[in-house]
């Protein structure tokens, strides 16, 4: 029998980070409308599928902890 009071194995925590696209400077009206329509559609799908809604044009997946473990005595 182990001395550990609490044992955690295969613990993961993932964050979704939203970023604005790297485009700076002048945007045409068409660019703005297209970007906003894409963002709206993505958010609607995320809401429908009960996923986290993330702001931004591009979504980055960040793993703070992946398949980690620990023991507390």
Task: Tell me if 39 is assigned to some domain.
Answer: yes
**Range in 26-30, 53-57, 62-66 the model is least confident about:** 53-57
11-39 average pLDDT score: 79
Cβ neighbors of 64 (< 8 A, separation 6 or more) are 13, 14, 15
Residue 31 lies in a domain: yes
Whether 21 shows a pLDDT value over 70: the answer reads no
- Residue 51 dihedral angles phi and psi, to the nearest 5°: -100, 165
Residues written for the chain: 73
**pTM over the 0.75 mark:** no
Range of the domain at 60: 6-72
Residue 1 lies in a domain: no
**How many domains does the chain fold into?**
1
First to last CA, the chain: 13
């Amino acid at each position: 029998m182990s001395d550990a009071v609490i044992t955690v194995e295969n613990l993961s925590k993932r964050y979704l980070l939203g970023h604005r696209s790297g485009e700076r400077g002048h945007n045409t009206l068409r660019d703005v409308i297209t970007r906003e329509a894409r963002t709206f559609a993505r958010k609607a799908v995320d809401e429908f599928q009960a996923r986290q809604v993330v702001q931004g044009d591009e979504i980055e997946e960040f793993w703070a902890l992946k398949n980690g473990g620990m023991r507390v005595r």
